[in-house]
Amino acid sequence: MLDDYKLEQPIVYKVLTNSLKINKYSHAYLFELNGYNKGLDFALAFAKILLCPNHYSNNLKCKDCNQCHNIDKNNYIELKIIDSSGQWIKKEQLEELQRDFSTKSILGNKKVYIINNAEKLNSSASNSLLKFLEEPPEGIYAILVTNNMYQLLNTIISRCQVLSFKKNIICNDDSSLKKIAKYISSDEDTYDDFVNINGVKYIDEIVEYILFFEQHDYESIIYKNKDFLQCFDDRKKLALAFELFVLYYKDVLNEILGLKLQYFNDYSDSINKVSEKNSLESISKKIKIIVDLSMNIKYNLNSNLLMDNLIIKLCGV
Ligand SMILES: [Zn+2]
């Protein structure tokens, strides 16, 4: 169902669920995947919302509806998926679609066609599609799915609402992102949010912040704290930032001791640079300062002061 993609594709999800709320849809959508690998599944989930009279995309919730039932059995005549059988999508495939869709819908009031790998439309198929898009018959909706939008005719693109997907974050279980997510998360939702939405941004910010501090000391107060607090802009996020600081410096300790990095393994260059500027003793002191100061976060101390204080104490090591 469409909700399954809420975390992976928050923007496209929002656009489409908003049109569902006001019951207003474009006649043609172009899903620009940018390497996202579940484009067709997403398109099907959305097609189901369009076709089901109850707008469900999950048949468990909609067991009485013929449309959902038949779509799930891959046996619904008013939903067509066109894909290339070889190198190209051919004109005949588009002609067949237009024939099939020329009569008014029998079961519902909508028909949907999905063109998967739309960049493979050859030129006569493109022209045939263009005519169909120029005069969209009532109740017929198109979803074009492509990884290469610019291979499509401009005239086709301009007739579609283009929805740009986020690339999949490639991460195996050994990635810093997943290991850190596991460490900081108390439940599945927090983990998913971290892995799919904010984690990369937070980790990058921490790595950049520490690197800057290690090279410029007090200047961090002037040049870094403002941006940093825009990223970690409430107490919960700030507490998370302090946890990440500790994990980072623990990995610097690991590096100095010649041990394997536990969390920041994808950032070994940065860890290496910081380890060269520090001793075992200085890192241990820094970790203690961070842990001690993090206790203040829950007492609602002004976060600007807290960060200034952190830098001043760390510079004293
Ligand atoms: Zn249904």
169 in a structural domain: no
Q: How far is the CA of 31 from the centre of ligand 1 (A)?
A: 23
Residues 127 and 248 in one domain: no
Of the segments 19-23, 258-262, 297-301, which one has the largest average pLDDT value? Answer: 258-262
Residue with tokens 């909706």: 141
Residue with tokens 């051919």: 90
Residues 38 and 82 in one domain: yes
Q: How far is the CA of 142 from the centre of ligand 1 (A)?
A: 19
Under the banding of pLDDT at 50, 70 and 90, the label for residue 284 is very high
Q: How far is the CA of 98 from the centre of ligand 1 (A)?
A: 25
pLDDT on residue 59 = 46
pLDDT on residue 188 = 85
170 in a structural domain: no
Under the banding of pLDDT at 50, 70 and 90, the label for residue 108 is low
Residues 297 and 226 in one domain: yes
Query: pLDDT per residue over 201-251, tens digit each?
Result: 999 999 999 999 999 999 998 888 888 999 999 999 999 999 999 999 999
Residues 277 and 135 in one domain: no
How far is Cα 292 from Cα 71, in angstroms, rounded to an integer? 58
Q: How far is the CA of 107 from the centre of ligand 1 (A)?
A: 12
180 touches 49 (CB < 8 A) = no
How far is Cα 56 from Cα 54, in angstroms, rounded to an integer? 5
48 in a structural domain: yes
307 touches 227 (CB < 8 A) = no
Q: Which residue has the higher pLDDT, 171 or 266?
A: 266
What whole-number percentage of the chain has pLDDT above 70?
94
Residues 157 and 247 in one domain: no
pLDDT on residue 173 = 77
Which ranges of the chain does DSSP label H, i.e. alpha helix? Answer: 10-22, 39-51, 66-72, 91-100, 123-134, 154-157, 176-184, 188-193, 199-216, 219-223, 225-231, 235-256, 268-276, 280-294, 303-315
Q: How far is the CA of 51 from the centre of ligand 1 (A)?
A: 7
Q: What is the CATH number of the domain that holds 60?
A: 3.40.50.300
Residues 155 and 184 in one domain: no
Structural domain total, the chain: 2
Residues 43 and 137 in one domain: yes
Q: How far is the CA of 46 from the centre of ligand 1 (A)?
A: 12
Q: How far is the CA of 231 from the centre of ligand 1 (A)?
A: 41
How far is Cα 284 from Cα 47, in angstroms, rounded to an integer? 56
Q: What is the DSSP letter of 136?
A: P
Average pLDDT, the chain: 89
Residues 64 and 91 in one domain: yes
pLDDT on residue 300 = 67
Q: How far is the CA of 134 from the centre of ligand 1 (A)?
A: 30
Under the banding of pLDDT at 50, 70 and 90, the label for residue 61 is low
Interval 274-302 mean pLDDT:
92
Q: How far is the CA of 298 from the centre of ligand 1 (A)?
A: 48
- 160 phi, psi to nearest 5 deg: -115, 155
pLDDT higher than threshold 90 for residue 143: yes
Q: How far is the CA of 129 from the centre of ligand 1 (A)?
A: 28
DSSP letters along 147-164, please?
A: S-GGGS-HHHHTTSEEEE
The answer for residues whose C-beta is within 8 angstroms of residue 103's C-beta and 6 or more apart is: none
pLDDT higher than threshold 90 for residue 298: no
Residues 21 and 137 in one domain: yes
What CA–CA distances, in Å, run from 309 to 208, 219, 229, 301? Answer: 19, 13, 14, 11
Residues 103 and 206 in one domain: no
305 touches 238 (CB < 8 A) = no
pLDDT on residue 312 = 95
Q: How far is the CA of 35 from the centre of ligand 1 (A)?
A: 30
pLDDT on residue 171 = 62
Among residues 103, 136, 164, which one ends one of the domains? 164
pLDDT higher than threshold 60 for residue 75: yes
Q: How far is the CA of 126 from the centre of ligand 1 (A)?
A: 32
pLDDT higher than threshold 90 for residue 129: yes
Residues 145 and 230 in one domain: no
93 in a structural domain: yes
Q: What is the DSSP letter of 165?
A: P
249 touches 270 (CB < 8 A) = no
Task: Give me the domain span that covers residue 61.
Answer: 2-164
The answer for residues whose C-beta is within 8 angstroms of residue 73's C-beta and 6 or more apart is: none
Under the banding of pLDDT at 50, 70 and 90, the label for residue 113 is very high
- 30 phi, psi to nearest 5 deg: -120, 115
Residues 111 and 243 in one domain: no
pLDDT higher than threshold 90 for residue 107: no
171 in a structural domain: no
Among residues 118, 136, 164, which one ends one of the domains? 164
